Chains A and B, each alone.
Chain A
Amino acid sequence: MDKSEKKITTRRDFLFTTSYTVGAVGLGAVIWPLVDQMNPDKAQKALATTEVDISQIEPGKSITVLWRGKPVFLKRRTQEEILEARSVSLDELPHPEKDEERVKSGKDEWLVMLGVCTHLGCVPLSNKGDYKGWFCPCHGSHYDLSGRIRKGPAPKNMEIPKYEFVNANTIKIG
């Protein structure tokens, strides 16, 4: 008598637990599409590359292009600017990176980086600030001629996107 009663209870509990579990799994499966629909859609993902013509850029000048909705700085640096960027000791940098690591070797004059301040996402102004590079007007971050953070609240150097030289005059970003 006792035994069978106990058996019924376990079976019932098992049934309820299973129902709840299976129901919860379903609910989870329903939530995923509702979350994922806010991720970049297929059209956004397909727009991942931009090609830029750089033949018109004089040494010392820079242009800004839009890639994935963000500005990308393409600066053709002069020899003096390159030398100045390379003369800094890594100990002085909050985010130590060699200038050589931030450009393609053999194409040292070209600095290609995301024009987005690593503090809170504003666009820094070029040829401004204490280090002749860029200066972010939002909260006063100073970047040098290699786009590295030198002073101010930004934690990191400006990001280098994936890019390649398709030929001498064209850069493909992304």
Chain B
Amino acid sequence: MSEHEYVPKSKAGKWFNDRLPLLSLASHLTDYPTPKNLNYWWTFGGILTFCLLTQIITGIVLAMHYVAHADLAFASVEHIMRDVNYGWLIRYIHSNGASMFFLAVYIHIFRSLFYGSYKSPREIIWIIGLMIYLLMMAAAFMGYVLPWGQMSFWGATVITNLFSAIPLVGDSITTWLWGAYSVDNPTLTRFFSLHYLIPFLILGLVVLHIWALHIPGNNNPVGIDIKKPSKDTVPFHPYITIKDAFALLLFMIIFAGFVFFAPNVLGHSDNYIQANPMVTPAHIVPEWYLLPFYAILRSVPDKLGGVILMFSAIFILFVLPWLDTSKVRSAVFRPIYRQFFWILVVDVLVLGYVGAMPAEGIYLVLARVGTIYYFLHFIVILPVVGYFEKTEPVPLSISEPVLTGSADYSMAKKDNEKI
């Protein structure tokens, strides 16, 4: 695991380390050679760890006061908000924390797309990351059901009904998911159980994600392989830790802004109305972080087709490392891909926008164009551009300029600063 043998100085430390090499692990983590040119887009890994731990800690606390029962859940949330000491603070951190978690994970994913971090030899890191993302969506969806408001109930109804699109067994599966003949108390209690479980699965996958990362080491803005340790690397501590801490604090200021001054801006007002199986709210929308997929779902006039397409939109990312044919990792040296990357960003934002709008008129047209482009990007553009694109010369190392050609490191660096 480590590049060098670590021997603890103290006798007790050595005794312990021989039996359980935790000290070796700690030494590996602090000395871990990291490319010294990592920009601020690379700080989101640390930020995401913070988000996960925040959600787990506040979640455990909330579970001490929450009651998972259809008749009592809504009242227990109000009890948390009104009576539990600091309950309002803990709940608002948890509910806004979910949004902040997704904000960070989207930046993390698009950073990977821009700098080609998903490419060989980092495919497994990418795939584990996607599994974490899938579990995050499941956890967020089930967590949103727990307050048992109108959006909780109808969101749960709509999402679980997706499974009824499966031919033959669809209805049985949906009933099985519910444990009743509609979303009801058994659904709530099982969602609570799973909502508590999933974060720990995520934590396990995060360990694997980091383990897999430490085999090839970090990618970097230039996207080249670097020798480690070398003059191109710095030890993780204190160089990266302090930079991560700085970025995390900036992130926390925004987070605190939401929690203390706009705690319900990212939620939906209908969720402060207790669930009512007889009345559906006028506009049902999922939480903002699921809107692009919701737009893809609604862009297809066929039930099964929409469901298949929505799941494909996520699963296509699993084969991304093999769809991208370019030898060059970083978009900094890929003038054509770079353009398409930004078009994809805009495309996903457009999909998110129309996902929040009623599925009619211009919004439906936009959703369809956006959906087609989304798949076009991965299935056609990525493989083709990889073949035909004339990439710019790539430097041999982070600290040395390229040997030939016009683009030198200082330019590459400038580029990084802009994005």
Contact = CB atoms under 8 A, between A and B. Distances in A.
A–B interface present (Cβ within 8 A): yes
A37 B61 contact: yes
A38 B64 contact: yes
B89 A33 contact: yes
Contacts of B85: 33, 36-37, 39, 41-42
A41 B83 CA distance: 5
A34 B61 contact: yes
Contacts of A34: 57, 61, 86, 90
Given A33-B90, A37-B90, A42 B83 contact: yes
Which one of A36, A38, A41, A43 has the greatest number of beta carbons of chain B within 10 Å? Answer: A41
A39 B83 CA distance: 11
20 contacts: A33-B85, A34-B57, A34-B61, A36-B86, A37-B64, A37-B65, A37-B84, A37-B87, A37-B90, A38-B64, A39-B85, A41-B65, A41-B79, A41-B83, A41-B85, A41-B87, A42-B82, A42-B85, A43-B79, A43-B83
A41 B57 contact: no
Nearest to A32: B86
Interface string A112-147: 000000000000000000000000000000000000
Contacts of A38: 64
A43 B86 CA distance: 13
Interface of A is mostly: helix
Contacts of A33: 85-86, 89-90
A18 B78 CA distance: 40
3 pairs of A and B residues whose beta carbons are closest in the complex = A33-B86, A41-B83, A43-B83
Contact of A41 (B84, B89, B90): B84
A42 B87 CA distance: 11
A38 B79 CA distance: 14
Which one of A33, A36, A38, A43 has the greatest number of beta carbons of chain B within 10 Å? Answer: A33
A37 B86 contact: yes
Interface in A1-41: 33-34, 36-39, 41
A166 to B, nearest CB: 28
Contacts of A43: 79, 83
A38 B80 CA distance: 12
Contacts of B82: 42
Interface residues of A, number: 10
A99 B116 CA distance: 84
Interface of B: 57, 61, 64-65, 79, 82-87, 89-90
Interface of A: 33-34, 36-39, 41-44
Contacts of B86: 33-34, 36-37
Nearest to B238: A16
Nearest to A40: B85
Nearest to B89: A33
Given A37-B65, A37-B90, 20 more contacts: A33-B86, A33-B89, A34-B57, A34-B86, A36-B85, A37-B61, A37-B64, A37-B84, A37-B85, A37-B87, A38-B64, A39-B85, A41-B65, A41-B83, A41-B85, A41-B87, A42-B82, A42-B84, A42-B85, A43-B79
A34 B93 CA distance: 12
A38 B86 CA distance: 10
A151 to B, nearest CB: 40
Nearest to A43: B83
B57 to A, nearest CB: 7
A22 to B, nearest CB: 11
Contacts of B65: 37, 41
B93 to A, nearest CB: 9
A10 B83 CA distance: 49
A4 B79 CA distance: 60
A34 B85 CA distance: 9
B72 to A, nearest CB: 14
A37 B60 CA distance: 12
A42 B88 CA distance: 13
Contacts of B83: 41-44
A47 to B, nearest CB: 11
B414 to A, nearest CB: 30
A44 B79 CA distance: 11
Nearest to A34: B61
Which one of A36, A37, A38 has the greatest number of beta carbons of chain B within 10 Å? Answer: A37
Nearest to B60: A34
A19 B83 CA distance: 35
Contacts of B89: 33
Which one of B82, B86, B90 has the greatest number of beta carbons of chain A within 10 Å? Answer: B86
A37 B79 CA distance: 12
A43 B84 CA distance: 8
Contacts of B90: 33-34, 37
